[in-house]
Amino acid sequence: MPTRPSYYITTPIYYVNDVPHIGHAYTTLACDVLARFKRLDGFDVMFLTGTDEHGQKVEKSAVAAGVDPLSFCDKVSTRFSELAVAMNFSHDQFIRTTEERHKKAAQHLWERIKSKGYIYEDKYAGWYSVRDEAFYAEKELIVGEDGEKSAPTGAAVEWVEEASYFFKLSAFADQLLDLYKSQPDFVMPLTRLNEVKSFVEGGLLDLSISRTTFDWGVKVPDNEDHVMYVWIDALTNYLTALGYPDETTDTYQNFWPANIHMVGKDILRFHAVYWPAFLMAADLPLPKRVFAHGWWTNEGQKISKSLGNVIDPFELIDTYSLDATRFFMLREVPFGNDGDFSRASFVNRCNADLANGFGNFAQRSLSMVHKNCDGVVPVSGPLTDDDTKFLSGIENALDGVRGHMDCQAFHKALDAIWTHVSAADSYISVAEPWKLKKTDPDRMATVLYVCTEAIRMLAILMQPIMPDSAEKMLDQMGVSERGFDQLSAKHRLKAGHQIPKPQGIFPRFEHEDTK
Ligand code: MSP
């Protein structure tokens, strides 16, 4: 049995109809930060991401590109794994729904739901949106001035009539409402829970779960004319990765049910209504939480290929560095809300918090250590009350940060850490170590020791969000133990470690129009 508590976190799997953009990077980044945080906090983490490769949308894109669907998927899926490397994501698995293990899992789950009596054969006649890969009821559609109907998301819809298997979703309304009531943090944030509740209260229709007019999908067991609806196939990936249908493995036993499925607000219904209903039907445990984050716009406009305003995460990393990109995305916008991307706010935020904030404090302190203390971490004299208060503030920040991380309030977690960056700035400005070299070298050594120790603790806390920069900083200080258990007076930085000439970690950016 594992001695550490386990934590299973998943990203949505990304459609390979298109190359990755900032929206995809954002969802996985949030999961990466949480996964790294949990590992440093002593958890045994399983972090899953991957690509969603079946369905009509992907098939159409392959046809448009003039290649067979699998070659098309191979190519685009690679682009997503390259993004994961470029963003320094620390996932444990990258799953693809075209893998054999996944087909086996999806077919098994289907058979299991069918054996419980929740799947039946009929004919579907209704609206379908290929872009959303979603069925819509007549009452959900928007009718434009020209009488043209579209999905509530604005996507085009088409009338579909075909033989189909159905899932008895309507049988689960009460159980779903009970779930939202007894476990109100099943869907977060709260506004999203309310949306989901009213959708279910509005009445649930049975769900068409197979298609017959194309064949790019997992075959329905015992009926080769049907492929599974892409969402029942895709959602099963969360089980496949743990070895399902074998429920006896340690991996499955440790990690299912998932602690959190992170999703964007557009795909909440699939995760908070359909997925728990499928699991209830199959008599499998339910995930503990579905968190729906908001969407990015670009300088006030919806991001779309046709508007030509897609934000390329690879370009951001090249222009501004990886860690600045990671930091900005989670610091700027309250997680859960929509956010607007602008280069001006990127530059302002990173200059204020990174270059002028933490970077400046670290550079100033370590340069003084290098110049005035023979380049080694100085021996500290007795600490004053102010010294102790400053250090214990950082030491105790973990509890608050943990609380914010546990409700996916990344912006608040960062805010809590940056309160101590500001405190560090005030500490050094008041203590003025640069004035003490001649008058009181022992006190100067103590102040610089306190500053260096503060950098160590702040860098430990910042690892989940900016792993490379924190690592460089901790390397410079010769700190090898980096878990959150090191944030305690017991583990204070040792005097005597040789500090190399400090390298600035966070560059200052110029605004584009002043370059
Ligand atoms: N394949 C499905 C998910 C299946 S999960 C079992 C899918 N894929 S997607 O590639 O279209 O979207 C993946 C994620 O990217 C979603 O969580 C979506 O919200 C997110 N984003 C896409 N554009 C976005 C923004 N402009 N801003 C923030 N996130 C957005 O849906």
Is the minimum distance from the CB of 335 to ligand 1 under 6 angstroms?
A: no
Is the minimum distance from the CB of 264 to ligand 1 under 6 angstroms?
A: yes
Q: Which helix (H) or strand (E) holds 62?
A: helix 56-65
Atom of ligand 1 nearest to the CA of 14: 10
Tell me the CA distances in angstroms from 372 to 367, 449, 495, one per residue in order.
8, 12, 14
Domains of the chain are 343-512 (1.10.730.10)
Considering only CA atoms, which residue is closest to atom 5 of ligand 1? Answer: 12
Which of 11, 18, 24 has most ligand 1 atoms within 8 Å of its beta carbon, as the pocket-test mutant? 24
Atom of ligand 1 nearest to the CA of 24: 15
Amino acid code (one letter) for 174: D
Q: Structure tokens of 245?
A: 């249908």
With a threshold of 0.85, does the pTM exceed it? yes
Grouping H, G, I as helix, E, B as strand and the rest as coil, residue 452 is: helix
Is the minimum distance from the CB of 295 to ligand 1 under 6 angstroms?
A: yes
**CA atoms of 167 and 104, how far apart (whole Å):** 19
Considering only CA atoms, which residue is closest to atom 11 of ligand 1? Answer: 15
Residue 419 φ then ψ, to 5° = -60, -35
Is the minimum distance from the CB of 14 to ligand 1 under 6 angstroms?
A: yes
Is the minimum distance from the CB of 266 to ligand 1 under 6 angstroms?
A: yes
**% of the chain residues with pLDDT over 70:** 99
**Residue 265 predicted with pLDDT over 60:** yes
Atom of ligand 1 nearest to the CA of 294: 28
Q: Structure tokens of 276?
A: 């728990």
**Residue 304 predicted with pLDDT over 90:** no
Atom of ligand 1 nearest to the CA of 266: 19
For residue 102, give every residue at least 6 positions away whose Cβ sits within 8 Å of its Cβ, in sequence order, or none.
95, 96, 218, 233, 236, 237, 240
**Residue 1 predicted with pLDDT over 80:** no
Buried b (16+ CB within 10 A) or exposed e, 366-405: bebbbebbeeebbebeeeeeebeebbebbbebbeebeebb
Which of 10, 14, 230 has most ligand 1 atoms within 8 Å of its beta carbon, as the pocket-test mutant? 14
Atom of ligand 1 nearest to the CA of 235: 6
Using an 8 Å Cβ cutoff, are 227 and 214 in contact? yes
Q: What is the pLDDT of residue 10?
A: 98
**Quick one: pLDDT band at residue 471, thresholds 50, 70, 90?**
very high
User: In sequence order, what are the beta bridge partners of 121?
Assistant: 165
Is the minimum distance from the CB of 76 to ligand 1 under 6 angstroms?
A: no
Residue of 19, 83, 21 lying closest to 303 (CA atoms): 21
Q: Is the peptide bond before 20 cis (omega within 30 degrees of 0)?
A: no
Is the minimum distance from the CB of 24 to ligand 1 under 6 angstroms?
A: yes
pLDDT tens for each residue of 45-102: 999 999 999 999 999 999 999 999 999 999 999 999 999 999 999 999 999 999 999 9
**CA atoms of 210 and 228, how far apart (whole Å):** 4
**CA atoms of 165 and 181, how far apart (whole Å):** 30
Q: State the DSSP code for 379.
A: P
Rounded distance from Cα 14 to ligand 1 centre (Å): 7
Average pLDDT of the chain to the nearest whole number: 95
Residue ranges with strand state E in 400-509:
none
**CA atoms of 433 and 218, how far apart (whole Å):** 67
Considering only CA atoms, which residue is closest to atom 24 of ligand 1? Answer: 23
Rounded distance from Cα 25 to ligand 1 centre (Å): 10
**Residue 148 predicted with pLDDT over 60:** yes
Is the minimum distance from the CB of 27 to ligand 1 under 6 angstroms?
A: yes
Q: What is the pLDDT of residue 514?
A: 54
Tell me the CA distances in angstroms from 349 to 6, 356, 509, one per residue in order.
35, 10, 10
**Residue 392 predicted with pLDDT over 90:** yes
**CA atoms of 481 and 492, how far apart (whole Å):** 11
Q: What is the pLDDT of residue 513?
A: 57
Using an 8 Å Cβ cutoff, are 29 and 20 in contact? no
Min mean pLDDT across 352-356, 383-387, 492-496 is at: 492-496
**Residue 340 predicted with pLDDT over 90:** yes
